[in-house]
Amino acid sequence: MRILIIKLSSLGDLFHALPAVHNLKQETGATIDWVTNSAYTDLVRCFDDVCTVIPFPRTSLRRDGRPFLAALRQQHYDMVIDLQGLLKSALVARAARTDRRIGPSFHREGSRLFYDAVAGPRNKERHAVIENLDIIQHLGLPRHEPVFPVTLPESMINPPSPHLVICPASRWETKNWPAERFATVARHLQTHGHASITLLGAPDDRPACQKIADELGGDCLNLAGKTSIVQMGSILKTADLLLANDSGPVHMAAAVGTPAVVVFGPTLPHRTGPFGAIHRVVQDTKGCPPCMSRRCRYPKTPCILNVTPGDVIDVAMGMLQGSTTNQP
């Protein structure tokens, strides 16, 4: 049996889908291929259950569309499972060679028209990891506890422990806790928790990371824009703690077993918080319920600012001390 998974993006969403794919592999023994955006190809190649990764040329479809279709149609699949649920992913599913196309319960943009079936009723009151597992029940297979089988290379750095990684940026401005507040927490954990600090992020995150580095007087390792996604994962795997906003690195840390303290504002922790009991979310909406919006209706008093450095220090300090205590 050969199964094609379609999950194009984003970073966190790829990890949300991983337990379902692993469960599928365990129960069917199928060969698993995966279509993902070209930017994530190297990462998906690190997923233990994936045989072949087919890059989707999101930014160069006009130029590279024909080679992509040739690669996509090279195999005939027993089934194609779209775990993205968007029109573009459904069109990829339609273009693949198969007689069975299954979409997710959270489908939108008219993608339902391109599926033979949908994996379960819509229920957005669950974590995204559990939502993706609908496919297992739909196929009548036993559902296992979620695990995230991913093999990453050795870390490019080896800082002293306790090692705190900070990822201070996300794609939504409303989810971004101010860099100076991250710096305040970092300084406290340096002084009182003896933490070594590494700053990580994409090239666009350099300003936020540089501001933190400047606040710390350069007493940190600033790797913003200097690592690949896979290298970021390797660094996160060896960290003692991650401090971040609601963003992709949080879900990567959860997958590799690194505890995370995550500052939440307008988004829903029960939907997109770090998966697992070892993590902590710090959120205070104070009467302004999470709006799930990229633009705040109250830009002078956004809910993310209700979380103070002291709130985060209290949580992070305890977790960092616990990680040191538990070391062999």
* pTM tops 0.85: yes
Residue 185 sits in the same domain as residue 115: no
Q: Is 207 inside a domain boundary?
A: yes
113-123 pLDDT, tens digit each: 999 999 999 99
Count of structural domains within the chain: 2
Asked whether residue 55 is assigned to any structural domain, the reply reads yes
Rounded CA separation 165/5 (Å): 31
pLDDT of residue 324: 53
13 lies in some domain: yes
pLDDT of 88 reads 97
CATH code of the domain covering residue 109: 3.40.50.2000
Distance from C-alpha of 70 to C-alpha of 54, rounded to nearest angstrom: 10
- Output the DSSP codes for 277-323: TT-EEE---TT------SS-S-TTS-GGGGS-HHHHHHHHHHHHHHH
Which residues, in sequence order, are bridge partners of residue 198? 165, 221
182 & 119 share domain = no
- Structural domain that includes position 60: 2-138
**Same domain flag for 198 and 301:** yes
172-224 pLDDT, tens digit per residue, is 899 999 999 999 999 999 999 999 999 999 999 999 999 999 999 999 999 99
Residue 167 sits in the same domain as residue 304: yes
Other Cβ atoms less than 10 A from the Cβ of 272: the count is: 21
Cβ burial of 44 (10 Å; 0-12, 13-18, 19+) is buried
- The strand pairing partners of 117, in sequence order, are 102
pLDDT digit string (tens) for 104-148?
Answer: 999 999 999 999 999 999 999 999 999 999 999 999 999 999 999
Query: Do residues 118 and 181 both lie within one domain?
Result: no
Question: Residues 238, 327: contact at Cβ < 8 Å?
Answer: no
268 Cα distance to chain centroid: 15
pLDDT over 70, % of the chain = 98
